[in-house]
Chains A and B, each alone.
Chain A
């Protein structure tokens, strides 16, 4: 169906899919890691000023 160069075509699509999936996995895992670290700090009572002041979601800087 893909002719004499099917291996090149399939390799191009396969490697591209692999790179994009790896990127998605990395971003998702990184997000979970950051949220867990933030939750650990807040559980220890270390909070941003905006959260300490009014106990609701802050308006502060990054």
Chain B
């Protein structure tokens, strides 16, 4: 199937229906293996002890919070520049899922911070910028729900998404630009990862599994959003027809 055919929502739903069962099986297996290795096979950290096991969910969730917003920014370009029929559908489907993974990153970070830093929360650059990301997800969801016309809502939201995308590099580089309680980059950094392979591989496997779960949820939410728009269109058709002519 040519890629351009995915612009057709009916064909997209048919493809998603074929892909989703396989995607869910692979996602659950990979995430299961990653979390098993992280919880039961990876050694305790020499400084943090067993608490380091929170890393295997906190870090993938934090990556996905930014990955989700990155996908939304690409979708926003698709809405504004190419007017792709699925671009706004994708952005709207991603928002609640991105918000949920950002919430996981915030909660698990707090639960990791208390025993390691002695505090649940600190208004430092990394934590605050991730909280701003969470609030932006919520604000976009509220915006989509506040405007009835999905096309108009999509264009307004796309502009806001692109403006808000300035927060992503701020999150990524906050630990380099400011003195923060949060540790610096330790996986994707110049000079290679500083994490030992015994912890790095379980972390990367967990991250791949969590990403597959994220994508499976996005595909399902996109299908739902396409159906929601069809229902709205049919209701408008029904409302425009004379009584008894439906």
Name A's B-contacting residues (CB within 8 A): 1-6, 8-9, 11-13, 15-16, 19-20, 22-24, 26-28, 30-31, 34-35, 37-38, 41-42, 44-48, 57-62
Q: Can you list 20 pairs linking A and B with CB atoms under 8 Å apart?
A: A3-B49, A3-B50, A3-B51, A5-B49, A6-B50, A9-B53, A9-B111, A12-B54, A12-B108, A15-B104, A23-B96, A27-B220, A28-B220, A35-B227, A37-B227, A37-B231, A38-B231, A46-B241, A62-B86, A62-B226
Contact of B229 among A12, A20, A62 (CB under 8 A): A62
Q: Which stretch (B71-79, B131-139, B194-202, B232-240) binds chain A?
A: B232-240
Whether the Cβ atoms of B61 and A16 lie closer than 8 Å is yes
Asked if B193 CB lies within 8 Å of chain A CBs, one says: no
Whether the Cβ atoms of B234 and A31 lie closer than 8 Å is no
- Bound Cα distance from A22 to B96, whole angstroms: 12
Residues in chain B near residue A37, CB distance under 8 A: 227, 231
- Bound Cα distance from A26 to B93, whole angstroms: 12
Count the A-B residue pairs with Cβ separation under 8 angstroms: how many? 116
Which residue of chain A has the shortest Cβ distance to B49 in the bound complex? A3
Asked if B100 CB lies within 8 Å of chain A CBs, one says: yes
| Interface of A: prevailing SS | helix
Residues in chain B near residue A27, CB distance under 8 A: 217, 220-221, 224
Residues in chain B near residue A20, CB distance under 8 A: 100, 104, 213
Residues in chain A near residue B97, CB distance under 8 A: 23
Residues in chain B near residue A46, CB distance under 8 A: 234-235, 237-238, 241, 246
Query: B interface, how many residues as a size bin?
Result: 35 or more
Contact of A38 among B35, B100, B227, B238 (CB under 8 A): B227
Known: A16-B61, A23-B100, A44-B238. A8 touches B115 (CB 8 A): yes
Residues in chain A near residue B30, CB distance under 8 A: none
Interface centre among A8, A19, A38, A47 (most CB of B within 10 A): A8
Interface centre among A11, A16, A26 (most CB of B within 10 A): A16
Residues in chain A near residue B238, CB distance under 8 A: 41, 44, 46
Whether the Cβ atoms of A15 and B50 lie closer than 8 Å is no
Residues in chain B near residue A12, CB distance under 8 A: 54, 57-58, 107-108, 111-112
State the 3 A-B residue pairs at the shortest beta-carbon distance, nearest first: A34-B227, A3-B50, A62-B9
Asked if B223 CB lies within 8 Å of chain A CBs, one says: yes
Whether the Cβ atoms of A61 and B9 lie closer than 8 Å is yes
Which residue of chain A has the shortest Cβ distance to B104 in the bound complex? A16
- Bound Cα distance from A6 to B238, whole angstroms: 58
